[in-house]
Each structure stands twice: as structure tokens, then as C-alpha cells.
Amino acid sequence: MDTNNNNTMDPKRYDDFQTIWKRRKQDWQEQAEKTLPDDAALLHLVELAQQQAQQHEAVDIPITRRRKHWIPYAAAASLVVGVAAIGLTRQGQPENGLPVTEEVTVEDQTVHFVCNNGCSVQDIMLMANKVIK
Amino acid sequence: MESSESYGANMSNSGTSQADFNALVLRHKAMIWHICSDYNIGKAWKTEDCMQEVLISLWKSFGTFEGRSSEKTWVWRVATNTMLMLRRKDVRTLQTEPLETVDTEEKNEEPSNESYQQLQQLIDALPEESGTTIRAFLDGFSYKEIADMTGSSVGAVAMRITRIKRKLKQMYEKENNTIL
């Protein structure tokens, strides 16, 4: 941790590690603001994102009849979502078991849940389908 | 079903929740933009695309945020998870460029930005989990907040951060061929 011994410091180098580290910690906001779009451009991006988001909303996963006979719906729901979460965690997402869902309901042989952490619907479906089939 | 702490928005968001969402984005705009550019060092052109993806994720999750973590932590987490997901897709679908040939057309660069970017690139070279932890720390989250995010103890987070910082320092020194 000692950074005071700079006898052999490369004269060509602009910063030592400690300086860059400190600057990264203190100045990231200032750095971001240098290239950040203005509010109007940002809100335009928000508008585009909202339009795109409506194309796919919550995730619905059908439970097969076979599965229904083996375990109750509520258990199936937690199994599907739980294993989907484990699968995603193994792939590195979400980080360290952050919650995947905020809400799980089961209706008409369908597990319905809402992803709350930026996982793609496709990724969750992929994992969940592996569990169901 | 709706928590009193939630924004009460869902996929058919009303005008009010749209206004709330716009306000949230403007409150955290620098942090969101920073996360998008942080994962795209030397590829400034990609930052805006990623920003849009992050906004989609945030918008889709907006109605389900219940205030169990702070708003800042939640935004950071959604944005970071989205960037990790995009990165994995990139790895699966695109050839990555070697660092030496990466386009560094940043605007308003200060002389020492090269070193700043070098640190970012070294963080990129860490395992995903270490990279995320150290980014959270460098973005100003406390040990306690990072512990809550990762489901670890404060002591474990502190130890992990010390270890990662030491590793980064070694990597930095090796690249620059100097010993501090």
C-alpha cells in the first residue's frame, strides 16, 4: 500500500496509480458531464426507450400439465424463478444473487413475473425453459 | 399489490409516472451516462446505444421499484446489469478489438486522461464480479451499500476491495514497467 517510495518512478509516466485511483473516485461525475447529452436529447432517448419497451413487457412462462401434477403451482413458480435466478447468477448476472423478480403470480397454468434488474426477457425465458422441460 | 413506496407505474405508465421517470433519469443522468461510457472505453460511439438500452431496462422496471434499496443504488444496479448483459451479448456475437487498436476519439481530453482510461481498461480485464465491485466503490458507494448489493458482509467487501485494488496496482505497474 505504500506509495511513497518513488525513487524508480518512470519519468515518462504522467500519473502514479494512487493519483489515478483518487481521480477516478472523485472526478467520474465531472468526466461524465463532459460528454453527456443535453436534457432535451436525453429525454428524446427516454421517449425512444419507452416506445421500445412496450414491445416486450412482463414474462409469462407456461407450466406444463405434467409439472402441475408433480408440484403445486406456487412451488412451481418459486422453482422456475429460483432456478432461473441461479442460472443467471452462474452466468454472472445478476451479480451475487441480487433479486431477479419483484413479483410472482401464477394464473391459468402460467407463471408471471416481472424482472427488476435489467435481465433480458430472453435470458430468463431460456433459463426457465430449461427447468420446465 | 402496490406498495406505498412504489412509484405506482407499470408498463402502461400514466403521464404522471412518465414525468416521474423523466425526473429520475435527469436526477441520475451523469451516473447512468458514466456507467455506459465506463463499459465502452475507447468506443464513445457506443455509449448512446447503451444508454438507450439502460433506459429501456429502467423504464421496464420502474413500476416495480419499491424503495427497498435507495433510488441511486437501484438505478446503478439496473444500469450495471444491463451493461453486463450487453457485454456478454457482444462477446457472443462480435469479435472484440485488441486494446492497442481501440479508437480513442474522446473529446476534451486532458493529458492524463490516458492514464485514467488505462485504469478503466484494467478494471475491464478483471473478472466480472470484481469489476462490478470495484466500480461500485469507485462510483462512491459505501462498503455497506456494496454489501447490500452483493449480499456480502461489510468486512468481506472491505477485504475484497483492498485485494482488487492491490491487484489493479500490480497490473498497472506491470503495464507501465515501473515499481512504486
Q: Is beta strand A110-115 parallel, antiparallel or unpaired with respect to A101-107? A: antiparallel
Query: Which parts of chain B fold into alpha helices (H)?
Result: 15-27, 29-38, 44-62, 71-93, 113-125, 128-138, 143-150, 154-176
- Return the amino acid letter for A45: L
- Return the amino acid letter for A126: L
Task: Provide the pLDDT for residue A130.
Answer: 53
Calpha distance B33→B51 (Å, rounded): 7
Beta carbons of A45 and B52 less than 8 Å apart: yes
Domains: count for chain A: 1
- Average pLDDT of chain A is 58
Q: Is A29 among the domain residues?
A: no
Smallest CA–CA distance from B163 into chain A, residue:
A1
Calpha distance A119→A85 (Å, rounded): 10
Please check whether residue A38 touches B, CB under 8 A. Answer: no
What domains sit in chain B, N to C, each tagged with a CATH number?
Answer: 1-107 (1.10.1740.10), 108-180 (1.10.10.10)
- Average pLDDT of chain B is 78
Across the range B167-177, mean pLDDT stands at 86
**HSE-up (13 A, CA, CB side) for residue A65:** 0
pLDDT digits (tens, 9 = 90+) for A22-58: 888 888 888 888 888 899 988 988 888 877 666 544 4
Residues of B in contact with A98 (CB under 8 A): 77, 81, 149-151
Range of the domain at A105: 59-132
The alpha-carbon gap from B170 to the nearest alpha carbon of chain A, in Å, equals 9
Residues of B in contact with A52 (CB under 8 A): 52, 56
Q: Is A126 among the domain residues?
A: yes
Q: What is the DSSP letter of B99?
A: G
Please check whether residue A129 touches B, CB under 8 A. Answer: no
* Confidence label for B14 from pLDDT (cuts 50, 70 and 90): low
Query: CA geometry: angle at B17 spanning B12 and B23, to 5°?
Result: 135
Residues in chain A: 133
Q: Is the ipTM here above 0.85?
A: no
